[in-house]
């Protein structure tokens, strides 16, 4: 089968480490299912993997990809949950210290086929397009948990999203505005801010700009570049939910004094549980939300898709599509 995989690790030049070519069809262990993929979006995680973050030399070659939707051998149309708990784990799988994401220990979804634990399959609503379904498992699930499980906000509250164009940021704006939250975004680029407003954000500000009011919660995925602004933008008692640090995890100031003096809550957030994925899928289908897709390319053009993500030019998700019809 065709797949996009990490052939080596390259911290400085991750694009040099990705290959697109044939890989053996996967074997199906007991309790697992084969999915013939139809669509799978890329995530920053795929670039981190090529840089050796969370992926060791001993696991190479590794098929990349954490998002995905497709058809099982039995003909079920499914969306994949990417968090694989260790055997015997019960409860929230994201809290399992030995959990793993597809593409870390087991091959990922940027391929014509993938195998996953059968318990990790969520039914795809019939009306949902493959492209849309292939976007939900990672950035969208992360945004759902950040906003609805961890932020402690109610409709009418104002929520600041740091960054406008990334997969997590666009998902936050689309989910939050559909839920009646007033979503504000920052961006380094005026046009990207304007696009976020078209998507449902109430207002867009330049990165680091002083806001007209303090907000109830900040959704942070940029890290070092925006950390001080996130702390300064919150009301007393407000919440920062942090899921990533694209610009680095060592801010110039930790802002510890402001954090305790304003009694802020800082909450780490990683992916979501399979029950949150089910609720996300229902919410998106019921509200008619269409995740913003920057580009959809065939799997054979995965090199271009990676280049777009690495350049930071994408606004929304970059999706790969697969035409393997053997699951029909």
Q: Where does this chain bind ligand NAP (CB under 6 A)?
A: 43-45, 48, 138-139, 142, 163-169, 187-189, 192, 207, 221-222, 225-226, 243-247, 270-271, 312
CB of 70 to ligand NAP, least distance (A): 21
| Closest approach of ligand NAP to the CB of residue 277, in Å | 12
On whether the CB atoms of residues 188 and 207 are closer than 8 A, the answer is yes
Q: Which is nearer to ligand NAP, 133 or 222 (CB)?
A: 222
Q: Compute the least distance from the CB of residue 192 to ligand NAP, in Å.
A: 4
Q: Are 134 and 39 in contact (CB under 8 A)?
A: yes
CB-nearer residue toward ligand NAP: 19 or 189: 189
- First vs last C-alpha separation in the chain: 17
C-beta of residue 140 within 8 angstroms of C-beta of residue 272: no
Q: Provide the minimum distance between the beta carbon of 185 and ligand NAP in the complex, in angstroms, as a whole number.
A: 7
Backbone φ and ψ for 24, nearest 5 degrees, come out as: -60, 145
User: Cβ 34 to ligand NAP, closest distance in Å?
Assistant: 25
Of the two residues 33 and 273, which places its CB atom closer to ligand NAP in the complex?
273
3-state secondary structure 186-212: EECCHHHHHHHHHHCCCEEEECCCCCC
Q: Which residues pair with 36 in a beta bridge?
A: 71, 113
- CA-to-CA separations, 319 to 70, 132, 160, 296, 315, in angstroms, rounded: 13, 9, 26, 5, 12
With 0-12 / 13-18 / 19 or more C-beta atoms within 10 angstroms meaning exposed / middle / buried, residue 224 is: middle
Measure the CA–CA gap between 9 and 16, rounded to whole angstroms: 9
Residue at token pair 């492209």: 131
Q: How far apart are CA 193 and CA 205, in angstroms?
A: 7
User: 229 with 187: CB under 8 angstroms?
Assistant: no
Helix (H, G, I), strand (E, B) or coil at 282: helix
Minimum distance, C-beta of residue 265 to ligand NAP, in the bound complex (Å) = 17
CB-wise, 311 or 325, nearer to ligand NAP? 311
Of the pair 93, 112, the CB lying nearest ligand NAP is at 93
Query: Side by side, which strands form the sheet with 265-268?
Result: 203-206, 182-187, 158-162, 215-220, 234-242, 265-268
Q: What is the dihedral of CA 314, 164, 219, 123, to 10 degrees?
A: -50
Nearer to ligand NAP, 10 or 28 (CB): 10
Residue among 48 and 283 whose Cβ is closer to ligand NAP: 48
Residue 2 or 69 with smaller CB distance to ligand NAP = 69
Residue 178 or 245 having the CB closest to ligand NAP: 245
Minimum CB–partner distance for residue 145 and ligand NAP (Å): 8
Q: Least distance from C-beta 272 to ligand NAP, angstroms?
A: 8
Report in angstroms how near the CB of residue 139 gets to ligand NAP at its nearest: 5
């Amino acid at each position: 089968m065709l797949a996009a995989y990490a052939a080596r690790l390259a911290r400085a030049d991750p694009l040099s480490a990705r290959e697109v070519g044939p890989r053996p069809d996967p074997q199906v262990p007991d309790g697992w299912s084969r999915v013939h993929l139809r669509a799978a979006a890329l995530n920053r995680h795929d670039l981190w993997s090529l840089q050796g973050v969370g992926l060791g030399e001993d696991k190479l070659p590794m098929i990349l990809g954490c998002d995905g939707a497709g058809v099982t051998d039995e003909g079920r149309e499914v969306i994949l949950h990417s968090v694989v708990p260790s055997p015997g784990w019960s409860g929230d799988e994201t809290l399992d210290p030995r959990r793993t994401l597809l593409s870390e220990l087991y091959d990922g979804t940027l391929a014509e086929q993938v195998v996953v634990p059968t318990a990790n399959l969520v039914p795809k609503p019939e009306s949902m397009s493959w492209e849309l379904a292939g976007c939900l498992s990672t950035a969208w699930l992360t945004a759902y948990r950040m906003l609805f499980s961890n932020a402690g906000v109610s409709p009418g509250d104002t929520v600041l999203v740091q960054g406008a164009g990334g997969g997590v940021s666009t998902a936050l704006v689309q989910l939050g505005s559909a839920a009646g939250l007033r979503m504000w975004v920052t961006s380094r680029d005026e046009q990207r801010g304007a696009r976020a407003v078209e998507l449902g954000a109430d207002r867009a500000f330049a990165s680091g700009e002083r806001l007209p009011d303090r907000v109830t919660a900040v959704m942070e995925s940029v890290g070092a570049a925006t950390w001080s602004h996130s702390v300064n933008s919150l009301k007393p008692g407000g919440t920062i939910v942090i899921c990533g640090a694209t610009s680095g995890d060592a801010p110039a100031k930790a802002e510890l004094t402001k954090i305790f003096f304003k009694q802020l809550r800082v909450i780490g957030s990683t992916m979501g549980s399979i029950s949150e994925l089910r609720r996300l899928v229902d919410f998106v289908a019921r509200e008619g939300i269409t995740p913003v897709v920057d580009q959809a390319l065939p799997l054979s053009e995965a090199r271009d898709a990676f280049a777009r993500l690495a350049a930071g030019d994408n606004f929304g998700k970059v999706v790969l599509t697969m035409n393997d019809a053997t699951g029909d």
